[in-house]
Structure 1
Amino acid sequence: MKFLIFLASRLGKALIVILGVVIINFFLIRLAPGDPAAVLAGQAGVSDPAYVEQLRIAFGLDKPLLSQLWLYLKGVVQLDLGYSYRNHVPVLTLILERLPATFLLMSSAFIFSIIAGVSLGVIAARSRFSGRRRWIDSVVTSGALILYATPLFWLSLMGILLFSVVLGWLPAFGMESVGSRLTGLARVHDIARHLALPTLTLGCFFMAFYVRLTRASMLEVIGMDFVKTARAKGVPEGRVIRTHVLRNALLPVVTFAGIQLGQMAGGAVLTETVFAWPGIGRLMFDALLQRDYQLLLGIFLVTSTMVVLFNLITEIIYRLIDPRIGAGGQEGAA
């Protein structure tokens, strides 16, 4: 029952945050310079003021700003995010077509960064604490620092040059081979080959955070009294690390993971643009160039909702890892 109350409370707060984001994004988009109707008329090679005015009516730009906001909010509640006149497709349809590709890229990069980052962080912390083979700690932390300091676009371009141009191991652009018409396992293998480079470049950038965070958390926990007590009782070293040290050290990692998922959505814009990956990041970039305001608002809404949901999932996982957090919160509320 306490968990249901906690979940309802968080969902209510999440809806308020999403509403605030929708309103702020709406006004920010409207404050941007340029008239989308004039831009669309210019792309069509028409400068007739009557035609521009017809486009303004079609966009709803002839109404007062608050009326436009109210109509947009009503549409959002009804899952109607507007119409992309540049692509001649409803905004929601266009986003749903691109969303699976973005989820595939984000989930692959996230899993890779978590597994590789935590594993390397554990290796670095153990070598540092044991006093033997400290060079491993130096190599791991230095490598993580280099990855963190490297711009994501440069890392992506170097990955293309090395693995696609020089070695020829992996394809550089797109999600599938053009005109291949593959099916079954052959298509899965083809998508996996195209996914490898974007996953590595996006995942390596965020992996650096987890390496340093896991290492610092483990070094803080590994010298505590309860760890020394477990060792004194004869608990095997591997079990001490897994059960006593790593479980407590993972709490800040889980916290950062929820934040990092939101940042990864932003990083996906750049990665998808470099690798021509057909996700909503690339769609956002194209919509910005075309000044497709309705599409931009829809993408902002979807990405904001994703970030809020990721944070909600993080809080739930946080309670599962350490139930004392939820109990403390309930006692504090009482």
Structure 2
Amino acid sequence: MSTLTRIGRTFRRTAIQAVPTVLGIVVLNFFLLQLAPGDAADVMAGEAGSATVETMAALRQRFGLDNPLLVQLFNYLYNLAHFSLGFSPRYGMPVADLIGQRLPGTLLLMAVALTIAIALGLVLGSLMAVFSGRLPDRLLSVVSLLFYSIPGFWIGLMLIVLFSVKLGWLPSGGSGTIGSNLTGLAGLWDKVRYMILPALSLALFYVAIYARLTRAAMLEVQSQDYVRTAAAKGLSPTVITIRHVLRNALIPITTMAGMHVGGMLGGAVVVETVYSWPGLGRLAFEAVMGRDFTVLLGILLLSSLLVIVANATVDLLHAWLDPRIGVR
């Protein structure tokens, strides 16, 4: 079977499995959010300072909040069937447009954080495996344990204190210098400066996981017969480590990376709030505080789709890393 045929079958299988999964997620999230007290009309009235009974009734009627629960669910599913995520009462604009404004920031933050986490995790894990049982292995294990144990928001605050307040090297929040209108390399560097601290805060927790996984996987692979055969052929230790040991050790790393996409979306809520980063995580927090459940449902739906796409990508990557793994 050709590679293109196997890839096509994988996409078809993923699409068939994704439809009932996403539908179940949407329905479950819809009913769970209804358990929260209040709605968007209550929050908008509270922010205005006063509201009459007639005003509250008019708001709920305008946004369909006075309909029975099943009617609201049917209307939402009807909108989804017509590729619409609904309308946000709080922001006064379509949810798809609102998410489209915030999505690039979150995807960029997650991509940079995941790249940092995997790169540092592979480096630290490889060193731990090479020096297994010796002092470097023990020191790096302690560092990894610290990264894993410390809460992400505390790491974010300490990075701000160190690099923004004390040293003044990096900005403490935002996504770019306001009113700078920088272009070219200057504009790129300005974006990078604002990206470093949020990406590090999101990545350090996962660095510890990937480092421990890399260490365990490499130690297991080193005991395999084909590694001993490669050494008997006279290959250098560096070539053996990169071509044979590390490549096969990447399989559990990529598996966990696909699973962590959803976790990173959850962690982005805290990181984006701490650093005032304009992304989906901060939008989700604002939607919860404003009881804007239509926006929150759209974010949850998009998050589930991202996780499904990430898992499908991991399946294809496994087939490339190890030809013995067939994509059925």
Normalising by the smaller structure, the TM-score range is over 0.9
**In percent, how many aligned pairs have the same letter?**
46
Q: Show the counterpart of 1:265.
A: 265
Matched, 1:323 2:323: yes
Q: Does 1:35 align with 2:10?
A: no
- The within-5 A match list for 1:121-140 is 121-128=125-132, 134-140=134-140
Q: Is the 8 A contact 1:272 1:279 kept in 2?
A: yes
Per-residue CA deviation, residues 105-133 of structure 1 (Å, 9 max, x unaligned), is 111111111111111111110111xx7xx
Contact in 1 for aligned 2:155/2:201 (Cα 8 Å): yes
Spell out the pairing of 1:138-217 with structure 2 (5 A cutoff): 138-217=138-217
Of residues 72-81 and 258-267 in structure 1, the stretch that sits farther from structure 2 once superposed is 72-81
> Secondary structure of 2:170's partner?
coil
Output the TM-score relative to the length of structure 1: 0.93
Aligned partners of 2:238, 2:244: CA distance in 1, in Å?
10
Distance 2:195 2:245 in 1: 34
Distance 1:196 1:2, change over 3 A: closer
Check conservation: 1:258, 1:311, Cα contact below 8 A. yes
Q: Does 1:21 align with 2:25?
A: yes
CA contact (8 A) 1:262 1:310 kept: no
Structure 1: how far apart are the matches of 2:7 and 2:311?
A: 16
Equivalent residues in 2 for 1:1-334 (5 A)?
1-128=5-132, 134-326=134-326, 330=328
Show structure 2 runs of 5+ residues with no match: none
> For residues 24 and 12 of structure 2, what CA distance do their matches in structure 1 show?
19
What are the superposed Cα offsets for residues 131-159 of structure 1, whole Å, 9 maximum, x if unpaired? 7xx21111111111110001100000000
Partners of 2:22 and 2:304 within 8 A in 1:
yes
Distance 1:64 1:286 in 2: 25
Name the SS of the counterpart of 2:10 in structure 1. Answer: helix
Q: Distance in 2 between matches of 1:81 and 1:10?
A: 22
* DSSP 3-state at the match of 2:131: helix
Q: Tell me the secondary structure at the aligned position of residue 182 of structure 1.
A: coil
Q: 101-110 or 31-40, which moves further after superposition? A: 31-40
Q: Which consecutive residues of structure 1, in runs of 5 or more, have no partner in the other structure?
A: none
Does the residue aligned with 2:223 lie in a helix, a strand or coil? Answer: coil
Using structure 2 for the length normalisation, give the TM-score: 0.95
How far apart are the structure 1 equivalents of 2:250 and 2:320? 12
